[in-house]
């Protein structure tokens, strides 16, 4: 899962990192509830492999009778379920020590099995679609147990009319590597081939730019450092702008072609159809954010004032507005603070968080070979596990509560839904984690009198809001425009895209920003434009979380119950219906307006402290 990513200072203290076998057991996660040992895992892996070889035999019989349909559905789901356990065990074991060759080899075996399993069951969805709604309804009336799968059938049947003949689908899926080429080429250039120039860091040392270093240098308190990094960084993208335009426009062409061949009006319609989200959610987001751009303009002015700059440029948008509070947060203290902040969710929620902490569901500290970053991961039959690389600071406390939000969502869904509805869609996933972060922000602000601390928390909140709601919507707006442009057969050259990008950027940031020419080419370096209408969900999720946290923090029991009900819902209904029952109608602009009101209020608070 995506997690908080507030970058720390450039200089990191070098400390020795332990080997995996030196980490105290109580700081590691306990995977024995999944499989008691590697032996048990290997036995189940073999058994799933065997079952995968014969699952094909179930093809072609579901239309015979209601009992046959029930039997086939149960067996296919059950095999997937067993595979998931094998998968999660091998991937968690591998992530804590990627230098362990055995774990690596097991992981590769499991992944290969996953490919085989999906090939061996590729007939399942098309056969359901062929059966059709009338016949399925008829079977359900004869065999009531089938009604437990009613929504599963609906989710598959929604693709009726969008699936081509077996022959045609085979041709398209055979070309999937070719369709992925634009993203692959972009990512190769971006991560392997680009050679960036050298710039001076704050200490006057010459350092070679990279994507990572660029974002750190933009947080420098020295405007000259930021300016030089910004100018030199974009020289590389300018040099390759025609190639990068060809790559991006090819991505657009692929998405438009896929949509057209599958009988969708647009690439956006197809992408949103897959997640059962009406397109109005996207349009409402873009319109409401546009209506509230004066708030972003005000934020730009506030930045300019606090940073005491005579001119504000795009390279001044990432400097922290407040100093890091020099306070240590150990893991032990952070657990306590998290539990206190989450009291507002009620005793049941807190009880399960306590369970997470007491039963080693978290792998806490960094060790050699451990995967970086943080995530929450698990499947229907397992505990939700959290991977951390703990450091004693406030950002890590935020990471802990963020990932715990995901874990509680997984826990509640798997304990309240049958297997087929136990997971949840990406559209609702980040809402649970971000709501927790918002609750922590409310809690910390209410429980500190230290004005430096308050300034820091408020400015981090505002920065997160700007980076998520405004910036991701700006991306979504541009993404939509290039796809429309492509769909209408209009040109997508570097110059055309740069002109449009600059126009949108100027609209978003307003007159207070000096519009440097370099920013026009920013589109060429954004990986999100290769994600096929994905980014808008960051913005809608943040907006929904802001509104939900507000309702929860008010202590209203109905709101809290409605929220817990969302966590329990899994995928038992459409994401929109689930969020509606939680108290947020995402087809309406109100939830976003409420989030903007919060943004505005927190800007007032910060201004009054400065």
Site for Zn ion in 164-203 (CB under 5 A): none
Size of the site for Zn ion (CB under 5 A): 3
C-beta of residue 127 within 8 angstroms of C-beta of residue 59: yes
Is residue 388 a contact residue for Zn ion (CB under 5 A)?
no
- The CB-of-434 to Zn ion minimum distance in angstroms stands at 8
User: Collapsing DSSP states into helix, strand and coil, what is residue 610?
Assistant: coil
Cβ-proximal residues to 166 (8 Å cutoff; 6+ apart), any chain: 126
Cβ-proximal residues to 519 (8 Å cutoff; 6+ apart), any chain: 314, 501, 502, 505
C-beta of residue 364 within 8 angstroms of C-beta of residue 388: yes
C-beta of residue 570 within 8 angstroms of C-beta of residue 416: yes
Nearer residue to Zn ion within complex by CB, 153 or 361: 361
Selected binder of Zn ion within 2, 416, 448, 565 (CB under 5 A): 2
Other beta carbons within 10 angstroms of residue 421's beta carbon come to: 21
- The CB-of-430 to Zn ion minimum distance in angstroms stands at 5
C-beta of residue 419 within 8 angstroms of C-beta of residue 380: yes
Which ranges of 510-589 would DSSP assign to H, the alpha helix?
A: 536-553, 557-568, 575-582
- The CB-of-169 to Zn ion minimum distance in angstroms stands at 33
C-beta of residue 390 within 8 angstroms of C-beta of residue 332: no
C-beta of residue 587 within 8 angstroms of C-beta of residue 280: yes
C-beta of residue 84 within 8 angstroms of C-beta of residue 118: no
Q: Which residue is nearest to Zn ion (CB)?
A: 1
Nearer residue to Zn ion within complex by CB, 1 or 576: 1
- The CB-of-2 to Zn ion minimum distance in angstroms stands at 5
| Residue span 389-428 as binding mask against Zn ion, x where in contact by CB under 5 A, dash where not | ----------------------------------------
Is residue 1 a contact residue for Zn ion (CB under 5 A)?
yes
- The CB-of-468 to Zn ion minimum distance in angstroms stands at 12
Nearer residue to Zn ion within complex by CB, 433 or 459: 433
- The CB-of-251 to Zn ion minimum distance in angstroms stands at 25
Give the total residue count for the chain.
Answer: 610
- The CB-of-551 to Zn ion minimum distance in angstroms stands at 21
Compute CA distances 380 → 24, 240, 385, whole Å.
28, 46, 12
Nearer residue to Zn ion within complex by CB, 7 or 53: 7
Which of 260, 223, 275, 197 is CA-nearest to residue 579? 275
Site for Zn ion in 427-446 (CB under 5 A): 433
Q: CA-CA distance, 174 to 176, in Å (whole number)? A: 6
Nearer residue to Zn ion within complex by CB, 2 or 590: 2
Nearer residue to Zn ion within complex by CB, 409 or 487: 409
Task: Give the CA dihedral 425, 431, 432, 437, nearest 10 degrees.
Answer: 150
Nearer residue to Zn ion within complex by CB, 464 or 486: 464
| Angle at which helices 426-446 and 394-416 cross, to 10° | 130
Other beta carbons within 10 angstroms of residue 326's beta carbon come to: 8
Nearer residue to Zn ion within complex by CB, 266 or 472: 472
Is residue 275 a contact residue for Zn ion (CB under 5 A)?
no
| Residue span 501-540 as binding mask against Zn ion, x where in contact by CB under 5 A, dash where not | ----------------------------------------
- Annotated catalytic residue: which of 403, 430, 437, 477? 403
What are 385's strand-pairing partners? 377
Q: CA-CA distance, 222 to 442, in Å (whole number)? A: 32
276 counts as catalytic: no
Nearer residue to Zn ion within complex by CB, 85 or 399: 399
Element (H, E) at 132: helix 124-142
Q: CA-CA distance, 368 to 346, in Å (whole number)? A: 39
- The CB-of-377 to Zn ion minimum distance in angstroms stands at 11
| DSSP E strand boundaries for 115-176 | none
What are 376's strand-pairing partners? 386
Residues of the shown chain interacting with Zn ion in the complex, contacts defined by CB under 5 A: 1-2, 433
Residues identified as active-site: 403
């Amino acid at each position: 899962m995506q997690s908080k990513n507030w970058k720390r200072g450039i200089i990191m203290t070098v400390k020795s990192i332990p080997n995996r076998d030196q980490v105290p057991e109580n700081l590691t996660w306990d995977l024995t509830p999944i499989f008691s040992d590697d032996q048990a895992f290997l036995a189940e892996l073999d058994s799933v492999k065997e079952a995968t070889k014969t699952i094909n035999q179930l093809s072609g019989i579901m239309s015979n009778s209601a009992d046959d349909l029930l039997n086939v559905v149960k067996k296919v789901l059950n095999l997937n379920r067993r595979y998931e356990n094998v998968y999660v065990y091998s991937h968690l074991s591998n992530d804590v020590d990627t230098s362990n060759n055995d774990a690596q080899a097991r992981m590769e075996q499991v992944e290969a099995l996953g490919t085989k399993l999906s090939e061996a069951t590729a007939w399942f969805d098309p056969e359901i679609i062929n059966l059709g709604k009338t016949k399925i309804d008829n079977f359900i009336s004869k065999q009531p147990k089938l009604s437990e799968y009613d929504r599963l059938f609906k989710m598959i049947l929604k693709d009726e009319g969008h699936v081509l003949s077996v022959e045609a689908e085979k041709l398209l899926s055979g070309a999937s590597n070719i369709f992925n080429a634009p993203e692959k080429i972009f990512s190769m250039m971006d991560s392997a081939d680009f050679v960036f120039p050298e710039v001076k860091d704050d200490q006057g040392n010459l350092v070679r730019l990279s994507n990572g270093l660029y974002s750190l240098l933009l947080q420098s308190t020295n405007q000259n450092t930021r300016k030089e990094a910004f100018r030199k960084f974009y020289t590389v993208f300018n040099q390759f702008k025609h190639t990068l335009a060809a790559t991006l426009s090819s991505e657009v062409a692929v998405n438009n072609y896929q949509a057209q061949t599958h009988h969708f009006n647009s690439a956006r319609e197809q992408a949103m159809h897959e997640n059962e989200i009406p397109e109005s959610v996207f349009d409402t987001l873009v319109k409401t954010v546009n209506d509230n751009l004066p708030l972003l303009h005000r934020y730009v002015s506030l930045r300019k004032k606090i940073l005491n700059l005579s001119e504000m440029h795009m390279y001044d948008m990432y400097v922290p507005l407040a100093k890091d509070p020099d306070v240590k947060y150990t893991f032990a203290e952070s657990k306590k603070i998290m539990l206190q902040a989450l009291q507002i969710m009620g005793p049941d929620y807190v009880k399960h968080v306590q369970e997470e902490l007491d039963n080693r569901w978290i792998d806490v500290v960094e060790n050699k070979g451990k995967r970086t970053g943080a995530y929450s991961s698990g499947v229907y039959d397992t505990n939700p596990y959290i991977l951390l690389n703990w450091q004693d600071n406030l950002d890590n406390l935020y990471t802990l509560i963020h990932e715990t939000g995901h874990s509680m969502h997984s826990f509640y869904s798997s304990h309240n839904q049958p297997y087929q509805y136990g997971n949840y869609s990406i559209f609702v996933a980040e809402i649970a984690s971000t709501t927790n972060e918002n609750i922590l922000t409310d809690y910390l602000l209410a429980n500190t009198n230290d004005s430096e601390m308050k300034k820091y928390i408020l400015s981090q909140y505002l920065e997160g809001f700007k980076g998520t709601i405004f910036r991701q919507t700006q991306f979504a707006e541009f993404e939509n425009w290039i796809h429309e442009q492509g769909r209408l057969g209009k040109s997508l050259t570097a110059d055309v895209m740069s002109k449009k990008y600059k126009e949108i950027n100027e609209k978003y940031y307003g007159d207070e920003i000096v519009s440097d020419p370099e920013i026009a080419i920013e589109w060429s370096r954004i990986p999100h434009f290769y994600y096929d209408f994905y980014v808008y969900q960051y913005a809608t999720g943040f907006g929904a979380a802001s509104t939900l946290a507000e309702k929860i923090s008010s202590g209203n029991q109905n709101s809290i119950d409605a929220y817990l009900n969302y966590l329990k819902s899994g995928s038992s209904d459409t994401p929109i219906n689930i969020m509606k029952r939680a108290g947020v109608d995402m087809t309406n602009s109100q939830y976003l307006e409420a989030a903007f009101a919060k943004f505005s209020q927190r800007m007032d608070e910060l201004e009054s402290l400065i």
